[in-house]
Structure 1
């Protein structure tokens, strides 16, 4: 190991490191395939399509997102291999003709590679809207295969759409069978239901309701029709995939509140979301709260109402990342959601957070816990033994030995490397076939770090944890040994662009640093010192500092340094 060169100065460090608090939350985005809004790109070249999807997953991974709502059904066509409905025309240009690859399977594979959950986003009741009528000419489309199941609807703007009538038992079973086909064929992390509602009160189903003499109001009947679909799906889906997360995205106003009035989910489009949550028919809801903090309907009032009536299920706040009056408040919305106990947020839609825009998350977190979901209680505690070795002055190799064969490998996702130095935070996610991980300490803030290796199951829960290991940064350990006898600060120029400081404190205490720049601009820093030697990277440019005075709170020491 090379020897370090030291320069001795009466000096002190100017920066502290704040460790992000460990947490779990949904960080989701809707990836829209309808009309090629987010993906696939406007080309029939399959290689370009596949490469673009990889770029999207990579971008979201770098932004520390953990969930994608991947649209697989819109306008009565699908983006997966189905025996029930025709394939979307957006991949080959022909409705009913799939590409040579499977788009949903590709998304699932990329999700596993980048450790992002993939929820299959399904448009449920609406089966056509817009001007692209290619799909309507396919004989398998619902308007052709089952015209009596569909209702034509004109909205207030005169736009035409077709909707299924969920009052028909055949329609309920059709949708449940479609969801079960999806669940049985694909190892998706979740099912995400959209347009799971009526278009409005003037839906033409009164004749059917009157004919069969249902003993409830038509409003209650409509709400029950949607809820019945969920009940049927829950019964059939659990044996297919006990880990499946079932969610829905209702409209943002559940019922009118003071300061938050508008189109109501319960009374206008007949979404009985409280029953869905109370009966455990959904694991999460992502209400579309597409407004800001100031205007009616107010975001904060609606968000609090959803969280307060969650029945211990997850509420993920849907954010309108495309609205000019919402964009400046997105970070505030994330923080507000955390403060009221929301399970996270989802951004509509990918285009509006893509590229270099809007970096909301600086750390890795897992999706929220769902303690009501089944988990394998038969995991046998296994010893994961960790060691480490120095590779260079600033790089170490962590090794672990998991001699036991992984039981139920389909239920395990990966290993995770935790940094427990301050608080338990995720340092790296590591695939199950690995037994080592390299760590490079480019800008170390401590002499040593405390790490553990954990094994994570399908629901992102920790099932095994290794022994803790104390990893010492090689060149800082050498520095500490060389400077233990010095009670005055030491300035170390390790590299031309890097300045390290070693400072000895006689106790855990605060220090106040008064800095004056060469332009005579003063600044005060308050720092927390630990007993013994403290070593940290200096952020300020040493050439711009004129003088420094350091006051140690507990022992009353004062150090003064005049650099000019």
Structure 2
């Protein structure tokens, strides 16, 4: 059993045993009414008020879901880690500080780059440790960044999406690869192009390795999502030199293949995408799978510009139509006043036939920098506001590129996020794929004065605990989201409700709490 899941199971069994003890050894039956005071044991000296008791009143609670994601790039240490000489304690503290700050700004999902160049920022059995951690590929840091990030982010009510680059071998041919690196395992399929090393997407062995990496990652880490970036066949170099895969294509034809070269390349990428979705659906159905391609599908559709369909074999429309992804996050890194207007492109993507697939447009926070595009802050505000007009078409949130420009408070972006765009907490939408989200049981709740203790009869089924306040009869406003096996909320006078959300995003009914 994977180590992360084993820890959760042990904690869950202990909490369930505790809960059953509070109920006089009565076993819990999913769906059966629970007593309000059946939950965690007293955690301190109660006040003079007797805790609530009796059968809890269940209420239906909900809020406007919205994915609020941020990319955290580790390639070249762009966003993290700050140094290759950190001790384990310093590394953990660095991640803690980053999560605390981003959660405080209203983000609910971190897209953390765990495989920048066929390496790993986690304990992989297939790829070596990343040189961006220690300076030398294959040398471990003495701790597990992804495991720690998952624990601290989930405690803050924030999802973790593992961001991998499927085909990049090495950022440069001069990088010294570790003995177990894929360029050493499959050297005949490692192609040097545009001063980088790319693993040939047309080779089945490359696809099989990537799929095995995904399986190993998801088998051992309790992430909320798997994310591919926009690098498929490599972007053309400045001379538009053809990617050297003639020999691979010839073998395909000799084996009876009949596709034209462009269609064959797209089919190679599509096959990987389809196989990864099949793996996730069958073995880790709650994991959200998505891709962030460049925001232009074809030149002229709907505006002129880069042709991802032909230049890098990226057919994002097919992924959406076929349901091979749960969401698409097109990188819409252009101003509204440009030749590629944000409103035109986001509307176009949101209206593609997609069968429930969500759209999370990507925003260029980095272009606020004066060293880059020097955008005004209002550009980001206006773009997010426009995304929200496309909710009915499936645009259910936004991603921001990237963490460093947010943490540096470029042009005051922190205030915009914290005080305006993301002032009200929210969770990402439920994973749209059938069977992806399982509703957890109604939580156990016990109130002691103004303190509310929460746990769940089946802790493995509960990802987050949510606290709502009734602002008018039948109207609930989400106040806080926390994770962990158990939670404690401080409340004031009024009517409240606590619900639980499981992996995949399905929410239980709430338990009403009235505080005099």
Q: Give a deviation string over 1:424-472, Cα, whole Å, max 9, x none.
A: 22112245655753225xxxxxxx7432121221223221321363x45
Aligned match for 2:251, one of 206, 211, 220: 211
Q: Give a deviation string over 1:250-284, Cα, whole Å, max 9, x none.
A: 11101234773211222221112122112221111
Contact 2:157 2:483 survives alignment (8 Å): no
- Partner in structure 1 of residue 406 of structure 2: 353
SS at 2:106 equivalent: coil
- Partner in structure 2 of residue 59 of structure 1: 101
Kindly indicate which of the two structures has a greater share of residues assigned to helix.
2
- Partner in structure 1 of residue 462 of structure 2: 412
Contact 1:412 1:457 survives alignment (8 Å): yes
SS at 1:71 equivalent: strand
Contact 1:125 1:195 survives alignment (8 Å): no
5 Å matches for 1:483-502? none
Contact 2:84 2:135 survives alignment (8 Å): no
In the aligned structure 2, how far is the partner of 1:74 from the partner of 1:436? 38
Aligned match for 2:122, one of 59, 62, 80: 80
- Partner in structure 2 of residue 299 of structure 1: 342
1:363 matched to 2:424: yes
Summarize the Cα distance change of 1:69–1:417 in structure 2 as closer, same or farther, 3 Å threshold: same
Contact 1:124 1:195 survives alignment (8 Å): no
1:195, distance to aligned residue in structure 2 (A): 3.7
In the aligned structure 2, how far is the partner of 1:411 from the partner of 1:281? 25
- Partner in structure 2 of residue 283 of structure 1: 326
Q: Give a deviation string over 1:37-91, Cα, whole Å, max 9, x none.
A: 1111124122222211111000011101000110111122211112222211122
- Partner in structure 2 of residue 535 of structure 1: none
- Partner in structure 1 of residue 188 of structure 2: 148
1:39 matched to 2:80: yes
- Partner in structure 2 of residue 157 of structure 1: none
Contact 1:287 1:318 survives alignment (8 Å): yes
Contact 1:384 1:465 survives alignment (8 Å): no
- Partner in structure 2 of residue 199 of structure 1: 234
Q: Give a deviation string over 1:335-360, Cα, whole Å, max 9, x none.
A: 00011221211111101111554131
Q: Give a deviation string over 1:489-520, Cα, whole Å, max 9, x none.
A: xxxxxxxxxxxxxxxxxxxxxxxxxxxxxxxx
The higher-RCO structure (CA 8 Å, 6+ apart) is 2
- Partner in structure 2 of residue 464 of structure 1: 509
Contact 2:68 2:428 survives alignment (8 Å): yes
Summarize the Cα distance change of 1:176–1:365 in structure 2 as closer, same or farther, 3 Å threshold: same
In the aligned structure 2, how far is the partner of 1:376 from the partner of 1:195? 27
Q: Give a deviation string over 1:265-309, Cα, whole Å, max 9, x none.
A: 222211121221122211111111111101112211111111111
In the aligned structure 2, how far is the partner of 1:61 from the partner of 1:145? 40
Aligned match for 1:428, one of 480, 489, 501: 480
TM-score normalised by L of structure 1: 0.71
Summarize the Cα distance change of 1:376–1:245 in structure 2 as closer, same or farther, 3 Å threshold: closer
- State the structure with more CA Rg: 1
Summarize the Cα distance change of 1:103–1:398 in structure 2 as closer, same or farther, 3 Å threshold: closer
5 Å matches for 1:126-525? 126-130=168-172, 133-134=174-175, 136-154=176-194, 160-200=195-235, 202-213=242-253, 214-257=257-300, 260-309=303-352, 311=354, 312-323=356-367, 324-325=374-375, 327-341=377-391, 342-356=395-409, 357-358=412-413, 359=415, 360=417, 361-374=422-435, 382=442, 389=449, 397-399=450-452, 406-407=457-458, 409-422=459-472, 423-431=475-483, 434=486, 437-440=489-492, 449-467=494-512, 469=514, 471=515
SS at 1:421 equivalent: strand
Summarize the Cα distance change of 1:175–1:432 in structure 2 as closer, same or farther, 3 Å threshold: closer
1:148, distance to aligned residue in structure 2 (A): 1.4
SS at 2:205 equivalent: helix
In the aligned structure 1, how far is the partner of 2:435 from the partner of 2:332? 30
Summarize the Cα distance change of 1:435–1:119 in structure 2 as closer, same or farther, 3 Å threshold: closer
SS at 1:178 equivalent: helix
In the aligned structure 2, how far is the partner of 1:140 from the partner of 1:431? 36
Summarize the Cα distance change of 1:453–1:282 in structure 2 as closer, same or farther, 3 Å threshold: same
In the aligned structure 2, how far is the partner of 1:228 from the partner of 1:425? 43
In the aligned structure 2, how far is the partner of 1:330 from the partner of 1:269? 28
- Partner in structure 1 of residue 149 of structure 2: 107
More displaced 10-residue stretch of structure 1: 57-66 or 322-331:
322-331
Summarize the Cα distance change of 1:169–1:425 in structure 2 as closer, same or farther, 3 Å threshold: same
Q: What RMSD in Å do the two structures reach over aligned CA positions?
A: 2.5
Contact 2:155 2:484 survives alignment (8 Å): no
Q: Give a deviation string over 1:111-153, Cα, whole Å, max 9, x none.
A: 111111111110111222248x34x342333333322112221
Kindly indicate which of the two structures has a greater share of residues assigned to strand.
1
5 Å matches for 1:86-101? 86-101=128-143
In the aligned structure 2, how far is the partner of 1:308 from the partner of 1:41? 40
Contact 1:414 1:431 survives alignment (8 Å): yes
Contact 1:67 1:117 survives alignment (8 Å): yes
